Structures are given as structure tokens and as C-alpha cells.
Chains A and B, each alone.
Chain A
């Protein structure tokens, strides 16, 4: 049965959405490209590509400085993205939207500015066991610099958070909880709202790594009540090199700048410099202007399809893929939490993820093979890594069918 047997919820016209992504018509090794690595970075729709090239062709100038029209127009276009992002995550104000290079930079900014100002030796930072290295290493660097303690909340064999164990870690010593909203490695969606409420009860602040959530779930900062929330533009169909740090205004106001330079200052003399207002205080140097323009086009694109439809489509794909994988012997999914996103973290008996990835590549199928920058998560499940297939809003049942055929080929070669 190839695609027809299960009723497909025609949540949006998949063919016309796929037609928006020029790269999906490429061939790899003579086979049609089956792109199943959106969790690493999503492909870009024509609308984003056009917005970026149109900006460079007709609208480009540096921003926040020029008195001339071109610069003012560019500034307006860039700042319009800030408002789009604000609405995208339902933040209170555009002053709470800091543009960064990506989620990694956002976390490092919080660790270096908020962390170094408000944390001291002995304070505890709680992480989950399935964090991306980006949400581990900055806290370890801070630990080594100022002596904070890192605690890790465990997950069960399905990859779901052990909530009781998490709550047991929280105390008046806990000053920050930092966790991934949706795991890039195994797809688990953590109960963010409940985790945040529990952290707030002991007076801790919360940072959420929303890289995998932003493309797949509607975000509402008022409802979630996170103190900091980060995501990357390129995973939500936007350009690389642009990301977002959301922070509650009072926190951002109290934080010192992290990087110094142009744009983040109010006045500079050799004796004393005063900082610019939010959000510019945290945006030193000429930003990724075109990236910002592209990000607006990406978020507009996602919102035009709508998260209800995207979630229905991706949930259908996940169910379809899970059903198709079940009869394949020797194949096991790492992470089968009831709440999870469109990520299949696959291990095969007697076959290294690298072997799987290499053979699938020859079949035109792009998956990620390895530890997915989440080695502790892999250690938790006693695997060196997995072959990860991840979905985007353009992923089709035909892509899943190709994956299954590819995995059967892998089995025939190594079995």
C-alpha cells in the first residue's frame, strides 16, 4: 500500500506548497531528492528566496543610520520583521525581540549577560537529559567561570520527561531552568508550560530552546510564560544567520549588553559610554539585514498555511511513517514519547547510522546520521547515534515511502 490506504487529511494543497520550494525538484545521484533533514535546516520557499534577492537588488542599504530614503526603507523593512516575530510568538512588545545569529547565540547571550550578572557560585541551573549541545555547553562554560552547579532532569525509556524527578530537582537554589521545547534528537515535546510553572514556583527563571518548536507549533509567550525563548530562522524556512532571542522586558532591561560596538550605544566618549534602548542594546554591529527580511517572508509563509493545518499534516505523516516502519524487523525508533514532533530517530541492528545515511544518500534520500549534537541524549539510550529523518511542512507520504524503500535497501546490503 503506497500512500492511499490511510485517509490523508487534505489540510492544505501539498503539491502547490511543494512547488513553492524549488530545491525539492532537484535530483541527487540521479534520483529525485527526498529531503528528510528539516530538523537540521529547513528548505526555503520561493517567497523567502525572492524577498532576499529583491532586497539586495532594489532595497539594500545599511539600517538605523542613513538619512537617505533607501536606508530608511531598509530600516523599516527590517523592523517590520521584528513586529512579525513579536506577533508570531505573541510577545508583549518588539522591545522584547532581540535578533541574533541563531538560537545558539541567543543562549550564549543569556548565559553571558544575565548569567554572569545574576548567578553566583552554588546557584543551580537545571537542564533536561535531551538537550542540544547548544543548551549544555554555554552553561558548562559559565559553571567553569563562576561556579554554578548543573543538574539534569532525566527522561524515561520513551524519551518523555520524568516530571516527578524534574520537580524534585527544583529548590530555592535553582535559579534557572533551561530546556528544549522539542528535542531535535528524538522528537520529544517537553511539557513546557508545566515545567515553567513549576520552575517559577521556586523563583527560578526559565529559558526555552524553541528551535524545533517554532516550525511545528504555534508559540504564545503570554500563555507559556517563558522568561527567555530562542529559535533560529533557518529551521523555520528562513535564511541562515538570523535568529531570535525573546526575553521578558524587565529582565532584558536589567541585563548589561554582551557585545559592544555600533548600533548598541547611545553616546560614546572615551570616558563613558551609555547604552542604547531595547532591543538595540543587545544588537552590536551591522545585523544580518537581508536575513531579517527573509525571516519575515518565512514567518508570513508559515502563518499563511497556519499551524493547525501544519500540525495536522505532520501528525498524519508521523502516524503513517510509524505504521510503515513497524513491520521492518531490526529497526527501532529511539524516542516514542506520546507527545512528539515529526522526527524519526532510527537505529538498525548490526548497522551503523553512518552506513544507513550513506546508502540512503545514494538513493537520493537526505537524512542526518550521528548524535545530532546531543551526545548525552544518545548516551541515555545507549546508542552511538541514530539515522534521523525529520519532516517539514512540505514532506509528503511519498517521501516516507521512499524512506521505507531506502531502509529496505540498507537491510539488503548489510543484512
Chain B
């Protein structure tokens, strides 16, 4: 497992970074408060442009819907990620994924162990393959996008 503490936060939502989430979770031991925090994090996600809610951006999920838009930026092809979901908690988890991955280089994305971070935050249960929330598929898509971006820059 990589040292998740040392991963730099590249992205912020309304000033909240991945490190802020970690620090807050240190203080919140009640699951209800943690969920409330995740829900609040989701509320910080800006809406996607209307036409972004299309089939191509939809990530396979069963219970709730997840949309993901990835735009490579700059010479390093850093992936700028935007996303949304129709369920509050999933939306919060999408926000968390963006804090973890957005604006990283394809190489850094592939080196990032999101599973370990979610484990650390005690949210790992949301990432099991059969979990019907689309988060696992979202992670797979981010990794696939990074892999193909890496190939193009190689």
C-alpha cells in the first residue's frame, strides 16, 4: 500500500481539499456525522452543463446514476474531472473521488490508491464491485482514461 498521507491534494472544492477531509474525519467518529460531512461535500459540487448529462458521460451503476467528465489539460495532460450523481451520498463520494484524482497527471492517477484512501476514511464498503452505486465503475473509468492518456503522451 502506498503512503497515502504523502499524496498531494491537487484539487479543492470551495477550498476543501482531500487533506481537509482527512483531518475532519479524524475528529468525526460518528458515522452519522461522517455521512453528513460527505453529503455536504457533495453539495459543493457545481452542476455540470446541461448537455453533459448524456449517455457517454454516464458511469454504469444500478441504483444511482453517476456522470463523469474528464478533460485533459496542459502539456502534462492533467485530467480535470467533473462529476455528479442523483443521490446525495453518492454525490459526496463523487466529490471525494474528484479531490483524490482531479488535476493529476495520468501517471499520478495510476499511482494513486483510491481504495486505500477510502479504507482510511472507513468508506471502503462503497467501492466493492457489486456495490450498486457506480463508484467502482467511476474508479475504473478514471483509471482507464488515465491509462489511455498516458499512452497518447508516451
A interface list, Cβ under 8 A from B? 29, 351-355, 357-359, 362, 369-371, 384-385, 409, 413-414
The answer to whether B86 and A413 have CB atoms under 8 Å apart is no
**Residues on A with beta carbons closer than 8 Å to the beta carbon of B87:** 352-355
The answer to whether B63 and A413 have CB atoms under 8 Å apart is no
For B, the interface residue count at a CB cutoff of 8 angstroms equals 16
Name A356's closest neighbour in chain B (CB-CB). B87
**Residues on B with beta carbons closer than 8 Å to the beta carbon of A351:** 88
Known: A354-B89, A358-B89, A414-B88. A29 touches B36 (CB 8 A): no
* Cα–Cα distance between A360 and B39 once the two chains are bound (Å): 15
The answer to whether B133 and A362 have CB atoms under 8 Å apart is no
The answer to whether A355 and B89 have CB atoms under 8 Å apart is yes
Q: Point out which of A358, A370, A385, A409 has the most chain B C-beta atoms below 10 A from its C-beta.
A: A358
**CB interface residues, B 1-48, toward A, < 8 Å:** 31-32, 35-36, 39
**What are 24 sample pairs from A and B whose C-beta atoms fall under 8 A apart?**
A29-B31, A352-B64, A352-B87, A352-B90, A354-B63, A354-B89, A354-B132, A355-B88, A355-B89, A358-B89, A359-B89, A362-B31, A362-B32, A362-B35, A369-B63, A370-B62, A370-B63, A370-B132, A371-B62, A371-B63, A409-B32, A413-B32, A413-B39, A414-B88
Known: A369-B63, A384-B86, A414-B39. A354 touches B32 (CB 8 A): no
* Cα–Cα distance between A409 and B31 once the two chains are bound (Å): 13
**Residues on A with beta carbons closer than 8 Å to the beta carbon of B63:** 353-354, 357, 369-371, 385
- One digit per residue, 1 when the CB lies within 8 angstroms of any chain A CB and 0 when it does not, for chain B 78-119 equals 000000001111100000000000000000000000000000
Name B133's closest neighbour in chain A (CB-CB). A354
* Cα–Cα distance between A353 and B89 once the two chains are bound (Å): 11
Name A369's closest neighbour in chain B (CB-CB). B63
**Residues on A with beta carbons closer than 8 Å to the beta carbon of B32:** 362, 409, 413
B interface list, Cβ under 8 A from A? 31-32, 35-36, 39, 62-65, 86-90, 132-133
The answer to whether B35 and A359 have CB atoms under 8 Å apart is yes
**Residues on B with beta carbons closer than 8 Å to the beta carbon of A371:** 62-63
Q: How far is the CB of A17 from chain B (nearest CB, A)?
A: 30
* Cα–Cα distance between A400 and B90 once the two chains are bound (Å): 26
**Residues on A with beta carbons closer than 8 Å to the beta carbon of B86:** 352, 384
Besides A354-B63, A354-B90, A355-B87, 12 new A-B residue pairs in contact (Cβ under 8 A), listed by A number: A352-B88, A353-B64, A354-B64, A355-B89, A358-B89, A359-B35, A369-B63, A370-B62, A371-B63, A384-B64, A413-B32, A413-B39
* Cα–Cα distance between A13 and B26 once the two chains are bound (Å): 47
**Residues on A with beta carbons closer than 8 Å to the beta carbon of B31:** 29, 362
**Residues on A with beta carbons closer than 8 Å to the beta carbon of B89:** 354-355, 358-359
Q: How far is the CB of B84 from chain A (nearest CB, A)?
A: 12
**Residues on B with beta carbons closer than 8 Å to the beta carbon of A409:** 32
* Cα–Cα distance between A357 and B63 once the two chains are bound (Å): 10
Q: How far is the CB of B62 from chain A (nearest CB, A)?
A: 6
Closest 5 CB pairs of A and B: A352-B87, A370-B63, A354-B87, A354-B64, A354-B63
**Residues on A with beta carbons closer than 8 Å to the beta carbon of B39:** 413-414
* Cα–Cα distance between A29 and B125 once the two chains are bound (Å): 12
Q: How far is the CB of A364 from chain B (nearest CB, A)?
A: 12
Name A350's closest neighbour in chain B (CB-CB). B88
Q: How far is the CB of A245 from chain B (nearest CB, A)?
A: 27
**Residues on B with beta carbons closer than 8 Å to the beta carbon of A352:** 64, 86-88, 90
**Residues on B with beta carbons closer than 8 Å to the beta carbon of A413:** 32, 35-36, 39
